Each structure stands twice: as structure tokens, then as C-alpha cells.
Amino acid sequence: MKCKEILQNSLITLACLCFVIQLFFLMWPYPEFNEFGQKPFSLHILDRNGTVMQILALETGERREYIPLTDIPPLLVDVFIKAEDARFYSHGGYDIFALLRALDQNVRQGEIVSGASTITMQLARLISPHGYGYAGKVQEIWNALFIEARMNKDAILELWLNSIPFGYKAIGVASASKIFFGVPLNRLSPAEFVLLALIPRSPVKYSPFTGGEDVIRAASNLAERIGLPITAQEIKIALEKARIYRKQFSWPFYAPHFVNFVAERVTSAERAAGRPIRTSLDLDLTIALEAALAAKIESAYTHRIHNGAGIILDNATGEILAYVGSQGYFDSDFGGQIDGIHIRNQPGSTLKPYLYALALTKGFTAASVLPDIPSYFGGEEVYIPLNFNERFNGPVRLRVALASSLNIPAVYLLERLGVKNFTDTLIDVGFDSIKDQTSVVGIGLALGNAEVSLYELTKAFALFPRAGKLLPVTWRRQTNFDQHNWIKGKQVYDPITAGIIRDILSDKTSRVMGFGPYNILNTDFPAIFKTGTSNQFNNIWAIGATPRYTMGVWMGNFSGETVIGAPGSSLPAQVVVQILKELSDPDDNFPNIENAQQIEICTLSGGKATPLCPSVMLEYFPPGVQPEPCTYHIQINGQIVINYPPEYQIWAAESGYSFENIPQNQAAESLHIVHPGNGAVFFFDPSISPEEQAVSIEVIDVGSFHPINLFLNGNLISTGTSPLKCNVPLVQGLYTVYAEGVNASDQIQFEVR
């Protein structure tokens, strides 16, 4: 009985001692272990359907893929265990029997021929590298005990198999399988398992790429020792296969710009975990976009256009579905590795929708009439002399001005709304690029003299199909998503404003003035578009959206090199239309503009239609807003004539319209100087030739056909009848303009700086 008690007490004491030892190794700091656990794995970047797009190399150029132990073929695990540490599951980190055997062998040979390192000890050496010899072996054992206290056997085995260096820039069995045999682990043969297990012992000596009979002999001996029935012929065949695959194998390399974009945003925790990263990208769609871009760029070779980029977003989920940063990633002559989706370029007219949306929030309506006449603008404003089609169209409704992308109405609007208000709006809708340009942009911002990215443009354009809500863009695939409950975003515009802009950008009729009746944007599926071209035609853009998708395309040169000729925005527009047509769903339609009212207006004046208006249409207005009746059409002696407001009468006269039939009491007020405005300040625009930079002085005296004398700083410079127009070259100085008629006069001042 006493012996039994002694035995029980001894066992309890031993158990307590083991517990204390275990607790010591668990609690004692082992910072190298924690650091090793944070070492990154190669990122597996997958598309939304699970296709591997790239397996990224580490900063060292090596690839270290993570594979769970449960996904490693059991036979491969068994081969590695038997080859390196047959009693792995029965020891506590070191194998005393193996150590004694190795000591005996080393003494007999007079040198170290066996290290007796267990799998845990090998992992310890990877975690805490040390010198060789007996001191190093003791440190290995010590660190192995720390590891065993912190991890179970399967976790140790998994970490070791994923961390073994194989040479040839391969770390871990998953990467080694691809590099040496060109296939995943689950496609290796038993002979290849054995060859793989040999390599870590000496990557140079046992490399399947260079080894010969010595490798076959070593592999046969290992197979025999672990009881695996493999013939020398099978090993020889496996070696030949490895040498063939070495010439044929290459790592998957798709969507490189997108993969770089994702890699910059993956967390350090995700890199350490090594799990595959499932992205939102549709690789097939990206390849289709890449091909369409390449074809158009090739067709534009004579225009010296070498680069292009495109992106497609899902309006419901915010997912990036396609992403092409350049027409050729390896095109070193033209900077193919530059990501054109994020570089900044002048956007041309693609900013106009946000300007017109701002106007709608400030009291303008889609029926408001804007001047499309030769104009100069005061302050630090840039005069843009012509529209793209080199015509002036007189009074145009806001709807037509935006749909036809007319320049002068846009500049006119921005002058009245204020540049700061517009830059604030652009920043609010996601143009972060504008933040550091607010002090340098002027009224030319209406035509895109700032620099923004394609990413920003496309993301912001999605506001309009999304009823004014900003799209939170993501590169991660969204799962369990309810298509009837779109991802939320900041409400930037009210739904009526967004709906009216959307309706304008899909209006084929209102687009005719700027683009003609037949153009690529007139699609047979619901879509909205905006195109843009920078001053020197070196950046051409097209942005489009259907109810479900938003897409943007840029073409130009990363070098900033100007193109030859004026290719226009039809090239990127063709790509956008082509891809959106393939994605369109006949059942998709843009939502109705809820709570908006439709009122019949005059198509010329934008006023509420009267019986005198020959052409009318329905236009959207916010609730409670009523347009004034049309005043352009009046009846004189039974005939309907057009009575243009004063600011359009010079344009009308130059266009061949006669005012002779309009009595003076029906006409505008008496003589005044229409242009420039009193106190205007003019600045030279370096993008415009000096010959085109003249101040236009315009005087009207409607209803009077008596001579008008026009004086500049007291000197008579012109005499004529109303409407009178005279151009004065831009020369620095302060000027007084005096116009004198028979019964009236007017005077203004302006300055040239």
C-alpha cells in the first residue's frame, strides 16, 4: 500500500513538473516565433469565378504558397515524415534515440554526418537560424521545446511543409511542386513525392533539373527505406517530366495592373494567413476589354496613340468587374507597366455633367436658356472661342447644351456658379485629385483644364444611374448580395437632379446639335454617355453607363506626347458601346424620375409653351417649379416672329436674321454695350494663339437704325448701325469704352492683364 502511494505521489510530482516545464516554455518570450508567424505567403489572387490570375512572388523573388495540411496528399505527408522524422508524433520536439544514433555515427566517422534533427527542430532552425555544431544543435532542441509548447503536431507539420526551402526560389511544398513538376501537389505521382522529399537535403545535389544517376539512386534508396514500391524507371520518368516542364511552366499572369492594385491594398494579416484572395474581377470580361482596347489603339496608329485604359464597375455592388491599365503590360517602349486607370490627365468635357448637376441644384432647370454665342468672361477666366464643331448656336436650352457638349454655355454657367462651388462639388463626388489644384484652375475647369483619373471619372459617373448616390467601389467579391437592395452610398445629388442629368445624357434628339443625327452613342439599349477630349487631343475619353454597369475608357500617351490630327472621342466611345452592348440586359431600364413633373415648353425659349410656339416638348421640372411663358414668339400683323433677347441679337443678325419687322415698342430697351461686362478683367491664355485673343466689343440699339459711334479711350474706333461689333487686340492696360447713338449712350470699363 505504501509503495502504491509512493508511486502515485511520484506520478503526481512528475505530472506537476511536466506541467511547470510546459508552462515555462509556453510563457517564456519567443519573439522570433511570433515574427515568423507574420512572414508573408505569396498572394493567390483569384478572379470572381476562382480562376488564379497570379501567384505573387515575395520581395525576395521567392514564392511561398500556403496550403492547409488537409489539402496536402496524405501519401506526400507520409513520405516527408518517414524521410525526416519517423517518430514525429511520439516525441516532444527532439528524438533522443535519433540523437544517440547520430552521436554514435559522428564519433565513428570523426565528423558530423548526421544531425538527427526532428521536423520540429528543422522548423526551429528556420524560425531562429543559428550556427552549426553541437552548440547549434542544443539551441535547436531548446527552441523546438518552445514550438511544441505553442503548437500541436498537425500545426507544426503544416507550418514546416509550407516553409521548407527548396532552392530555385521555391519555399514550401506547394510552390516546389509547381516549380519542379509544373503541376499542383494533388497531381504528383508517388515517384515525384520521393524526388520532392529529397530536394531540401541539398537543392543543388538533388535537383530534378540537373541530377542524374545519383538522384535516381538516392530516390530509390529513400523509397525502399520508407517502404514505397517505386522502381528506378518510374523515378527516371519523373525526372524527365521535370526537365520538360521546366521549359514549359510559367506562373499564371493575368490582369497585371489590377493585381498590383489589389496587392497594394491587401492587409498584412491576409498576407500572413496565405489564403487565396477572391476578387471581384471577371477575368473573361477583362480579357474582352483588353482586346477591344488593343484593336482600337492599333487602328489609331497613324494618330500616334499608343496607350489606353478601361474599367467597368457594377452599379449595384460597387465591384470592379474589368480593369485594364494599359494596352500591353510588357510594352516597354510606351510605358506599358504604368496604370492608366490612376494617372491624371485633362478630362475635357467629361466634367460637364457635374457642372450641370450643380446648376440644377442652384435654380437652373433643364429648360433654362444658356448663351452659345461668341463670349469673353471677366476675372481670371479663360475665353474658349469655339465649340468643337466651330459653330455658335445662339440661345440653347440647358438640356441641349449638355447633351451636345457645347463649350460656351458650360463656361457661362461656371462663371455664374463660381469656380470654388464647382471644385467643392467635384471633391464631394470623389475627385480627390482636384484638392491640390483648386488654386490653379479657373473658369477653364468647365472644359476640363484640371487633371483627374479614369478611376475617379468612372466612379463619379455611376452617380447618375444610382439616383445620386456615390458608389463605394470595391475590388473584393461581394457575396450573398441582394440585387434588389443596392449597396448604399453617400447621397450627393437628390434623385430628381440625378434623374434629369441621366435623362439628358441618354437623349438622342438633344445630342444632334453637337454630334449629328447618326453617331456611335445612339444605342438600341438603355445607356447614358459622356465623351471628352483635352485641348491638344492627347487625351480622349468616353464614359458610359447602363442601369447595371458603369464603364470608362481613356486613350492617349503616358508620355504626354501629342497625337497627330484630331481623332476625337469616337475611338474610346466605340469600345464603351461595344462592351456595354454585350453586357446589356433587355429587361434593364433606368428608373423613372419620381416626384418630378413634366411641363410642355417651347423648344427655342425653354419657356412654358404658348399657342404661338411652333415646336414644343415635355420637360422635367422639380415639384412646384413653373417656367415663365415663352416670350420669344410674338405675333405682328398676323405673323409669328421671333423676338430674340438683346444678348442674342448680334448673333442673330450675323446669322442672317432681320429685326426690321419688329416695332421699337416690341423690341428690347435702348442702346447699351452688351460685351464686355463693366469691370471685366482679361488674361492671356497660353493655350490659345495671340491672334485669337481679342476683346469683342458689342453694342445694340434695337429698334433704331441710326449710326452708332464707338470710342476706345476717347478714340473713335468704329461707326455703324445696330448691332455693332468690333474686336480689340489683347494689349495690357485699362480701357474705357463709350458708345453713342442719336438718343442714347452707354459706357463701360475693362482691363487687360
Cα Rg of the chain (Å, integer): 38
What grid cell was written down for 101?
Answer: 544514433
Task: Find the range with the poorest average confidence among 119-128, 129-138, 721-730.
Answer: 129-138
* Confidence grade of residue 379 (pLDDT, cut at 50, 70, 90): very low
> What is the residue type of 304?
R
Q: For residue 676, what pLDDT band results from cuts at 50, 70 and 90?
A: confident
Half-sphere exposure of 263 (CA within 13 A, CB side): 19
Per-residue pLDDT at 74 exceeds 50? yes
Say how many CA atoms lie within 13 Å of 293 toward its Cβ: 30
> Which of the listed ranges 331-345, 504-518, 619-633 does the model predict with the highest average pLDDT?
619-633
- Residue 576 confidence (pLDDT): 97
Inform me whether the pLDDT recorded for 670 exceeds 60: yes
Give residue 473's pLDDT. Answer: 96
How confident is the model at residue 22, as a pLDDT?
Answer: 53
Higher confidence at residue 694 or residue 311?
Answer: 311
Give the pLDDT score at 101.
67
Q: What mean pLDDT value characterizes the chain? A: 85
Q: pLDDT category, 697, cuts 50, 70, 90? A: confident
Percent of the chain with pLDDT over 70: 85
| Whether the predicted pLDDT of 686 surpasses 70 | no
Could you report the per-residue pLDDT of 178-230, keeping only the tens digit for each? 999 999 999 999 999 999 999 999 998 999 988 788 999 999 999 999 999 99
Please tell me the distance from the alpha carbon of residue 305 to that of residue 302, in angstroms, as a whole number: 8
- Nearest Cα to 71, choosing from 276, 279, 278? 276
Sheet arrangement for strand 745-752:
680-682, 745-752, 733-740, 708-712, 715-720
Determine which of 284-293, 572-581, 663-672, 716-725 has the lowest per-residue pLDDT on average.
Answer: 663-672
Quickly state the pLDDT bin for 582 (edges 50, 70, 90). very high
Mean pLDDT value across residues 549-554: 97
Write down the pLDDT at residue 14.
47
Q: The C-alpha cell of 70 is what?
A: 488537409
Q: Percent of the chain, pLDDT > 90?
A: 54
| Mean pLDDT of the region 439-449 | 84
Between 652 and 296, residue with greater pLDDT: 296
**What pLDDT is stored for residue 290 in this prediction?**
96
| 252-264 pLDDT tens trace | 999 999 999 999 9
The beta strands (E) that lie in 376-416 are given as: 394-397
In this prediction, residue 702 has a pLDDT band, given cuts at 50, 70 and 90, of low
pLDDT for 105 beyond 70: no
558 versus 453: the higher-pLDDT residue is 453
Q: Does domain 30-248 have CATH number 3.10.450.50?
A: no
Q: Which CATH superfamily groups domain 646-752?
A: Immunoglobulins (2.60.40.10)
pLDDT top residue among 455 and 104: 455
Q: What is the pLDDT of residue 517?
A: 81
Domain ranges of the chain: 30-248, 311-583, 597-642, 646-752
- Dihedral sign, CA of 382, 388, 394, 396? negative
What is the pLDDT, as a whole number, of residue 34?
Answer: 85
At residue 66, does pLDDT exceed 90?
yes
> Hey, what amino acid is at 21?
I
Rounded mean pLDDT, 340-357:
95
Least confident residue range of 356-370, 505-519, 524-538, 653-667? 653-667
As a CATH number, domain 311-583 is 3.40.710.10
Mean pLDDT of 643-669: 65
Q: Which range is least confidently modeled, 319-328, 383-392, 553-562?
A: 383-392
- Asked if the model's pLDDT at residue 558 lies above 90, the reply is no
Angstrom distance (rounded) from CA 405 to CA 393:
12
Phi and psi (nearest 5°) for 140?
-60, -45
pLDDT at residue 304 is higher than 90: no
Question: What is the pTM (predicted TM-score) of this model?
Answer: 0.84
Give the DSSP H/E element, type plus range, for residue 310.
Answer: strand 307-314
Q: Is the pLDDT confidence value at 250 over 70?
A: yes
What is the Cα–Cα distance from 154 to 270, expressed in whole angstroms?
Answer: 21
Position 113 scores a pLDDT of 42
Quick check: 15 pLDDT over 90? no
**Residue 380 pLDDT greater than 60, yes or no:** no
H or E stretch at 213: helix 213-225
Averaged pLDDT for residues 286-301: 92
Is pLDDT of 560 > 90? no
